Chain A
Amino acid sequence: EARALAEKLAAYRGVWVFVEQTEGEPARVSWELMGKGRELADTLGVPLSAVVVGSRVEELCYESFCYGADQAYLVDEPVFRHYRTEAYLKAVCRMIDDYRPEIVLMGATGLGRDLAGAVATVVGTGLTADCTGLGIDDKRNLMQTRPAFGGNIMATIMCDRFRPQMATVRPHVMPLPERVAGSSGTVIRLRSKVREEDILTKVLEIVSDRNKDQVDVAGAEFIVSGGRGMMGKENFVLLQELADELGGVVGASRSAVDAGWMPHERQVGQTGKTVRPKIYIACGISGAIQHLVGMQDSDVIIAINRDPEAPIFEVAHLGIVGDLFQVVPALTERLRSLKQKAPETAVCSNG
């Protein structure tokens, strides 16, 4: 029995990353996954493949090579212009049946979760959600680590009797690999057999929210976030000033969003955005676990809180215990004065 299982598993080889796109625009998380996928493929000694499905999306195959893929499976037909579960499900399941990867990774986005859940059900395999860590054990199985119970615990999940092993990863959890321009790979062109007549769902309209709230918290390199300690909407201008000096954006805890001080698009945490900036400054945020799961992978976390016992200090790399209404303007002030000095030093070193 053990032998039969081993044979079944060995029939599956290679690491796949699904390249998510909307109207041809790739989702950044796909390239983040490409970096992780490369690592896993190297450990296993197998190729890394991009899975590109859409209409007029061949360009994304070449882009995936720049982020580390060895080859790309491409299904490029008008029926895939808009994402519809039925169509994409059929295309991806057919590829899995024909080419048998051992690992399939997708972004834990609205689209990625929609597709991954359907694919795993049809293929009859396991799917681990929102992984924050992926590694290979000594039996070539994928170890999938993820938070659960609102981030209170971490669990390592295995799917060692089934293939492919499927996992989703939230945006900004894995670092973006460096893009190496001009990298090459093989494009494998496939036909899907999906016919428009068979697809019952129609996408009537796609409305971008971008112009409503231009600020992209999830992609920002510097974030200054405010919580209930901000006391009111008008005080967020203090955070905006600091963010402007840093070249960053203002985020918020759920309490601040629920109070109507900031729009939901700015919320960081379990039910908001996951962020991974270079610097995250939490002002008047206590550090509830649901907030922490959204920002704990930031490179540097700074907490400003007047309560030295606030749990935010447990994750912060640097902290100031004090009144944010005094500390935040002082931070802004210090940055401004350094910037004013900076040109002088430049002149000195030149001369």
Chain B
Amino acid sequence: MLVVVCIKQVPDTTQVQIDPVTNTLIREGIPFIVNPYDAHALEEALRLKDRFGFRVAALSMGPPNAEATLKKALALGVDQAILLSDRVFGGADTLATSRVLSEAIARLNRQEKVGIVICGKQTIDGDTAQVGPGIATRLGYTQLTLVDRVEKLDPLQDRITVRRKLEGRHEMVDAPLPVLLTVVRELNRPRYPTVPMRLESEEATVQVWSNQELQLDQEGIGLKGSPTWVSRIFSPERQKGEIVGDGAADPAGAAKLLIDKLVSSDLLVV
């Protein structure tokens, strides 16, 4: 059985800066990282490999430099890494992204049966949490989102039991394979690559599939296949507030001023 893990290379959003003049994102010099949730997806796939001997394939759609992300996956022990890269895939929204990823998974499935696909809960750049459900729906796999524990996997019965983390509750759900899981951070602690594995992975190569391989109708992918488009990008507006009193020299006085201000403007009723 093949386990497929989807990983996206993302800019480290803690280091993103906005150009104060043009109000656009400064992309130069921002380091790229593996989407943090996807590191947990990858770890879970490797644990399934360790326990059941499944093969693991890592998939990423992105520009050629996303190869670095897949190299890291190889160093951690995935058996196969595929970069889906082609200009015609660019500018995709989640509908078009899940189209390409699901077609690639269907292609892998023709060589070896895919039982489990694992995605992160969401990315830290696009941040939509829509790609996982998109892939599952297209492939007709059962989708189990927000998994924080894989409770049981029975490879003979082809069934999986997982715990899902929702608002104020957890749900234990059982489903037949194939399934698509999206995972949260609480699921596991990602491992680090060992030196021998890192060295070994230097030999391993990332396969690149363009649309030459996938042969998808261009109407359904990239910018053309995306129903949504970004019409405007701007910085969140913020108006500076008022500093009350001199909190360093007279904390009690400043505190009194603040509370009285809230009370007199009816923001607080005592």
Q: Output the least CB separation between A205 and chain B (Å).
A: 4
**Chain B hits for A157, CB < 8 A:** 228-231
Pick from B134, B234, B267: contact of A121, CB under 8 Å? B134
Task: Specify the chain B residue showing the minimal Cβ separation from A288.
Answer: B14
Q: Output the least CB separation between A279 and chain B (Å).
A: 7
Interface check A278, CB cutoff 8 A: yes
Given contacts A113-B129, A130-B128, A121 and B270 within 8 Å (CB-CB): no
**Chain A hits for B174, CB < 8 A:** 201-202, 204
A323 to B16, CA, bound (A): 30
Task: Specify the chain B residue showing the minimal Cβ separation from A115.
Answer: B133
CB-CB contacts of A129-165 with B at 8 A, as 1s and 0s? 1100000000000010001111111111111011000
Interface check A210, CB cutoff 8 A: yes
User: For chain A, which range describes its interface: under 10, 10 to 19, 20 to 34, or 35 or more residues?
Assistant: 35 or more
Pick from B14, B128, B243, B255: contact of A319, CB under 8 Å? B243
- The answer to whether B138 and A121 touch across the interface, beta carbons within 8 angstroms, is yes
Most buried by A among B14, B93, B136, B227: B227
Interface check B132, CB cutoff 8 A: yes
**Chain A hits for B143, CB < 8 A:** 85, 114, 118
| Interface residues, chain A, with chain B CB atoms under 8 Å away | 22, 27, 85-86, 89, 109-111, 113-114, 116-118, 120-122, 124-130, 143, 147-159, 161-162, 171, 200-210, 216, 246, 270-271, 278-279, 288-290, 296, 299-304, 306, 308, 313-323, 326-327, 330-331, 333-335, 338-339, 342
Q: What 6 pairs between A and B have smallest CB-CB spacing? A: A322-B247, A117-B133, A126-B227, A330-B255, A150-B13, A126-B228
Among the stretches B69-77, B159-167, B208-216, the one at the interface with A is: B159-167
**Chain B hits for A209, CB < 8 A:** 168-170
Q: Output the least CB separation between A160 and chain B (Å).
A: 8
| Interface residues, chain B, with chain A CB atoms under 8 Å away | 11, 13-14, 16, 18, 25, 93-95, 98, 124-134, 136-138, 142-146, 161, 164-176, 185, 226-236, 238, 240-248, 251-252, 254-256, 258-263, 267-268, 270
A contact face: mostly helix, strand, loop, or mixed: mixed
**Chain A hits for B270, CB < 8 A:** 335, 338-339, 342
Given contacts A121-B133, A121-B138, A124-B95, A302 and B258 within 8 Å (CB-CB): yes
**Chain B hits for A143, CB < 8 A:** 231
Q: Output the least CB separation between A272 and chain B (Å).
A: 12
A292 to B234, CA, bound (A): 16
**Chain A hits for B244, CB < 8 A:** 318-320
A333 to B132, CA, bound (A): 51
**Chain A hits for B136, CB < 8 A:** 85, 118
A321 to B246, CA, bound (A): 7
8 contacts between A and B (CB under 8 A): A109-B167, A120-B95, A124-B95, A148-B125, A154-B234, A201-B174, A270-B127, A320-B258
